[in-house]
């Protein structure tokens, strides 16, 4: 069944922040047309704008997401009890995206990244905001949230996610869960030394998760680990086995006697530095979202670096440069120049991701 093959996203969905069944419809369009959508981690209105510009130029939908730490940076300097500042940071970012996404004429999935057991209060706070938002606008603030209980037992992971999913589903919020562990280090979580068997999910585990979540609704995605690692390492250090995803799809189809060949929406974490072949293979097995953070962090920094290198002699003092000792440097040290260079560089890297994920011109 490939009902959406050859269809364009905007023939079916509206621009702006998607929620409820529309999120799942976008994933179905992606699956039927074998592309994945880049999910970029943002930390400021600047990186949000860069992401929106990239999606606009790629003429495709985009996933914009905040990690817990990224949300904290959105309200940087605000010191409040518990997760409060991070709740406010994420809400602030969400409002920025809501305001601009439809003006850019692109469909956007607004998402939060890894939330482990100890930061579930962050999700609780965001759900309270979305429930209030829902009363006013008949839609949630976020399209989806990820719960990452992969450090707990499978039973606890699935039970907790199912409970949260029931609450989220009432207001049209999708869920992403994690099975197995993404290796490497990101946002203060260090999994560089975990037992390597945990880096590979078993089809039976995906089947159990599929059962637990689909009893609530179809609007979920699963980040199953297949050797993927956060961060960028020397080539050859990461042993990806996307076949795990294929085996899981086949196992679930067979167990449940489903018509669909690829019932699961898979998410690819730790995609930075992956080969084009691994990406293509993972997409062919039902990966519809790929997270990108490390490579866009580098690109943002690289844009700053090249700006400073280019105008180095104009950035040493407020007055005085190679054009004359009285020449003012204001137009060079205006922070917008530096930040624009960073945004431009991040945008180009994101467009490269759209290309690698077969996600160009999908609107
Ligand atoms: Zn991740």
- Which domains does the chain possess? 9-356 (3.20.20.70)
Q: Which residues contact 355 (CB under 8 A, 6 or more apart)?
A: 58
What span, in angstroms and rounded, lies between the C-alpha atoms of 65 and 276?
23
Cα–Cα distance measured from residue 227 to residue 297, given in angstroms and rounded to the nearest whole number: 22
Instruction: Give residue 172's pLDDT.
Output: 98
* Separation between Cα atoms, residue 268 and residue 265, nearest integer Å: 10
d(CA 94, CA 2) in angstroms, rounded, equals 33
Q: 54 pairs with which residues across the strands?
A: none
Ligand 1 centroid to Cα of residue 175, in Å, is: 14
Ligand 1 centroid, distance to 230 Cα (angstroms)? 6
CA of 272 to the centre of ligand 1 (A): 11
What residue has token string 């203060």? Answer: 188
* Enclosing H/E stretch for 7: none
Residue 320, CA distances (Å) to 171, 304, 309, 310, 330 in order:
58, 22, 17, 16, 10
Point out the annotated binding site.
Answer: 114, 148, 178, 230-231, 269-272, 291-294
List, as residue ranges, the binding site for dihydroxyacetone phosphate. Answer: 231, 270-272, 291-294
Contacts 24+ apart (CB under 8 A), 159-162: 159/212, 160/117, 160/120, 161/209, 161/212, 161/213, 162/212, 162/213, 162/215, 162/216
Is residue 124 among the annotated active site residues? no
Token pair listed for 104: 């850019």
The pLDDT of residue 233? 66
Q: What is the predicted pLDDT for the residue at 145?
A: 98
For the annotated binding site for Zn(2+), the residues are: 114, 148, 178, 230, 269
- Going from the Cα of 107 to the center of ligand 1, the distance in angstroms, rounded, reads 22
- Residues in the chain, overall count: 363
d(CA 283, CA 316): 48
Going from the Cα of 115 to the center of ligand 1, the distance in angstroms, rounded, reads: 10
- Report the sign of the C-alpha dihedral through residues 277, 283, 284, 287, in that order: positive
Q: Report the C-alpha gap between 213 and 206 in whole angstroms.
A: 11
User: Mean pLDDT for each consecutive 10-residue tract of the chain (363 residues)?
Assistant: 90 97 98 97 98 98 98 95 97 97 95 97 98 97 97 95 98 96 73 71 94 98 88 67 93 96 94 84 97 95 98 97 96 98 98 97 98
Q: Characterize the bridge pairing of strands 189-191 and 183-186.
A: antiparallel
DSSP conformation class of 44: S
What whole-number distance in Å separates Cα of residue 213 and Cα of residue 178? 12
182 alpha carbon to ligand 1 midpoint, in Å? 7
- What's the pLDDT score for residue 270? 84
From edge to edge, which strands make up the β-sheet containing 189-191?
Answer: 189-191, 183-186, 229-230
**Which 3 state secondary structure label does DSSP give 197?**
helix
Q: Report if pTM > 0.75.
A: yes
Catalytic-labelled residue, pool 11, 21, 32, 113 = 113
pLDDT on residue 249: 97
């Amino acid at each position: 069944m490939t009902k959406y093959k050859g269809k364009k996203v905007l023939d079916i969905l509206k621009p702006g922040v998607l929620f409820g069944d529309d999120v799942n419809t976008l994933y179905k369009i992606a699956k039927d047309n074998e592309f994945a959508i880049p999910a970029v981690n943002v930390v400021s209105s600047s990186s949000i704008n860069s992401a929106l510009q990239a999606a606009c130029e790629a003429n495709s939908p985009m996933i914009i997401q905040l990690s817990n730490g990224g949300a904290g940076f959105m309200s940087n300097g605000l010191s409040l009890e518990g997760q409060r500042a991070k709740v406010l940071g994420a809400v602030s970012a969400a409002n920025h995206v809501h305001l601009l996404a439809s003006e850019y004429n692109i469909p956007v999935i607004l998402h939060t990244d890894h939330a482990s057991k100890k930061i579930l209060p962050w999700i609780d706070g965001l759900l309270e905001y979305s429930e209030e938002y829902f009363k006013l606008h008949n839609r949630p603030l976020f399209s989806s949230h990820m719960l990452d209980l992969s450090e707990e037992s499978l039973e606890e992971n699935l039970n907790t996610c199912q409970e949260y999913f029931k609450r989220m589903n009432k207001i049209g919020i999708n869920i992403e869960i994690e099975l197995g562990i993404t290796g490497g280090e990101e946002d203060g979580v260090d999994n560089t030394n975990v037992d390597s068997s945990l880096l590979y999910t078993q089809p039976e585990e995906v089947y159990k998760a599929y059962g637990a979540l689909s009893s609530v609704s179809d609007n979920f995605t699963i980040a199953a680990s297949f050797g993927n690692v956060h961060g960028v390492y020397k080539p050859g250090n990461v042993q990806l086995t996307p076949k795990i995803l294929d085996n899981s799809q086949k196992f679930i189809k067979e167990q449940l006697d489903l018509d669909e060949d690829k019932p699961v929406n898979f998410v690819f974490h730790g995609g930075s530095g992956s080969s084009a072949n691994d990406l293509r293979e993972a997409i062919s097995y039902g990966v519809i979202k790929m997270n990108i953070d490390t490579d866009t962090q580098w690109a943002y920094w690289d844009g700053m670096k090249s700006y400073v290198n280019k105008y180095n002699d104009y950035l040493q003092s407020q007055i005085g440069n190679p054009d004359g000792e009285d020449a003012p440097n204001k137009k060079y040290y205006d922070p917008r120049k530096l930040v624009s260079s960073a945004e431009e560089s991040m945008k180009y890297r994101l467009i490269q991701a759209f290309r690698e994920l077969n996600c160009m011109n999908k609107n």
